[in-house]
Structures are given as structure tokens and as C-alpha cells.
Chain A
Amino acid sequence: MSGLANEPSTRGDVSEKSPSTVEESVQTGPTKGVRTPSGLRLDIRLTILIGVLAALCAVGYILSPETFLGESNISIMLRLAAAIGVVSVGMTFVIISGGIDLSVGSMVALASVWMTTLATQEYGLFVMVICALAVGLGAGLINGVLISYGKVVPFIATLAMYASARGLAERLSGRQTQTVSEQGFLEFFRGDVLGIPVLIWMLALVFAVGWVVLNRTTFGRRTFAVGGNAEAARLAGINVRLHTALVYGIAGLCCGIAAIMVVARTTSGSSTNGMFYELDAIAAVVIGGTLLSGGRGTLIGTLIGVLIFTVVNSIFTQNNLDTATQNIAKGVIIVAAVLLQTASARTRKTAKT
């Protein structure tokens, strides 16, 4: 990942030291980069990921040349990717901070149900939106407080939320699908702005805000610090517990946003929404090059990871292939991504004197 260390700084700022070429090569490792003539550093792994995405698009185009790259198919693909993409943004924060969140799918389900109860719908569009955000944020913060102040291992705390949030969603909905009758909500979230669907705008916005927070704010810096070395962060005076709790809050908030998107797409809320989102999100984050051990990662990588899965999905549905094969393909992609990651970690280790 190149995120923090060298994105803004390398631009045009060629080191004053004369043997800079030597130093560059020492510090590379996973940041192994190439300097383009414009001075922008391209992460090699990111380049590979973009290449994979392009290759998959090419495959899709060859298999169904009329439709695959058509405007409607791209729009369909992105709308399907939108909710999982937003969830993956929150997941990226959690994983960079050294944690894991298994409860994202259940939180999406809970928020989608809570915002579509008859009682909530009565209050109209804004209350529905705020309800979803509050439910997501609240559930996320419960995760965070359990983990940071209750000292429960993230895997266990979010596993508990995974079970109980979906249970609560079932209880609230009576396992019934709750149709949205609030027209204002449907009109806005199913509509277009400047010819682009609102869902895609939301995806773009969440990624943009997430990128800025992660790479340009002290909050993002602390997220990397907590995940890279929590003890060093603590001894530098950073409130590691509070920060950890907030990171899980962000993940929950993203689930709230994703719930709004799912409800808009399916025009209903259901306790079965968000099934397997945790697996898809973790897979996208890992494919994107974020280390599961924390301290390193990029949102750009996560975005490409999400898009790769979306394109694979689309190729399979367009060609009427079964989902079993699709799942096998996904598994192969995950393994290939992790192998790539360990291979670059190895080059990094040997480069150490």
C-alpha cells in the first residue's frame, strides 16, 4: 500500500539526496512502485488488480459483446455493487485498525427492517434514513465498546452481533418482508441525478469521504497507527480504546447506509437482507491488498476488489452460468489475491538487511 507514506509527498518532490535511486529501492517492499513520467507512484499490486479487472471486463465483453459494456449493464452492475461497496469501506477501516467485523450483514438486515416498519415509514423519508443510520451506528458502537472497553476479541464480539442483530431483525419483522410504501423515499433513492443513479452517487460519495478520512485526517492516521502497533500508539498518548470503538461505529454507520441502498433497490426491508455481506466485504478488502493483521491498506484497492466481484457476478449472470461455478471462481480469486500478497511480503522481507 502506498497510501499514507508517499501519496502526497512523492509528487514531484524528488529527494534532494543524490543516491536517491538506491534509497528508493530499499524502502519499497509492498510499496514496490514505479515512477511514471508524471512523477506519480503506481503501486505494483494496484496495477495488477486494475489489470485483472480489465481482463475480466474483456472476458465479459467477448462473451456478450452487445450488452456487457452497455450503459444499462454497467449501471446494473454498479447498483448491485453499491451496497456491498459501502459495507466494504467500513470493513477496510476495521481491518486496517487490526480488527474484523463479522456482523456487517446482520447490521444491514437489522437497519433495513427497522427503517421499513410501518411505524417508521409513517414519519416519512428523513426519519427512515436517520433510523437506518442510527441503528447501524448504534450496533457498530456496541461492537466497538465490547471490543475496546469490554476487551472481547473482535471475532467473538462481532460473531455475537452477527447472530443477535439478525435475530432482532427477525423479531421486528416477524420474518415478513416489509414493503416500502413511502413514495418520497422510493422516488429519491431509485432516481437519477445528472443521469446517474442515486445509488451509484452514494457509493462514490462514501468512497470519496472514506478516502479523505483515511488518508487526510488525524482519524485515519490513528487508524493506521492503532492497527500497525497498538502499544506504540498507546504509549504515544493516543486513546486507542476510544479510537477502536469509533472505527467499529464507522463500520456500523456504513451498514446503515448500505441498508438504505438495499431497501431502495429491493423496495422492501427484510431480515434476510445482507446475507454473506461479511464474507464478500472481507474478500473485497483482502483482494484490495489490505493486510488482515492491520496497519496497511487502501480504499482504492477495496474499491477494485468490489468491482472485480461485481464483474464476475455479471459475467456469470449474463451467460446464465450457475452460481456454484461462480462461487468456485470467487474462491479462486481470493486465494490468488492472498498468494500475491504473501509473495510481495516475501520480497519485502528479503530486502531487509
Chain B
Amino acid sequence: MRFVRLSTLCLLLVLCVPQAEAEYADVVLNRTAEAAGVRPVIYPHWFHRMRFRCKVCHSELGFVMRAGANKIDMAGIMEGKFCGMCHNGEIAWNVEHCDRCHSGLPGLKSGIRGGDSAGGPGYW
């Protein structure tokens, strides 16, 4: 009996060790995606900041630094706004590759993610 109890406790401990976690500063965008019948968008900060400084998107392009504050839509992107400033087939691949951005699991809530010890500030 004690063995069973101990085993359960240990199993729980192992399960409690953080498992799958998003990369620090990944952003989930699901304001309209799933309602429109596509997967939520996962935006990886780490990938983009290797290639562009923050100021490109947050100054030139004008993205507000708060997940959910930018009313991004596909029509705008195709006109060269938002992600479409680069994802136009010239600077980066074009919008025909839907799945590359619309890559999230169903039901994800919009917001900034990443399993850091700080857990992310409340205001986000």
C-alpha cells in the first residue's frame, strides 16, 4: 500500500517538472484566426530578432508592444501592411504559406508566452 502511495507521489513529482513550454516571447494571435476557420498564429520573437532589430516592427511598422493591441487582418497583410511589409515574397516568403504562421493548436488564447521563471508580467 505504502509502495503504491510512494509511487504515485513520485510519478506526480516527475509530471510536475516543467515539460512542454513555448519559447520565451512567443506570441499567440487568435483574435480572429480560429473564428475564421484557420489555426491560431504563433509569432516567434526569437526568429525575427535574429534578422531584424525591434525598431523595424515596433517603430517603422508601428506594431504596438502589447499582444492583442494590433488589429491585424489578412486583407491588410496582403496590401503590404503589418506582417505584409516583409512577407511579400521579396524580403520574406509571401502569404501563400498559410500554415507557417497559422500553426497553433486549437483553442489557444492570444497573448505572450514563454516559460520563463518570471512567468510574464500581469499587464500583458
Chain A bound to chain B: no
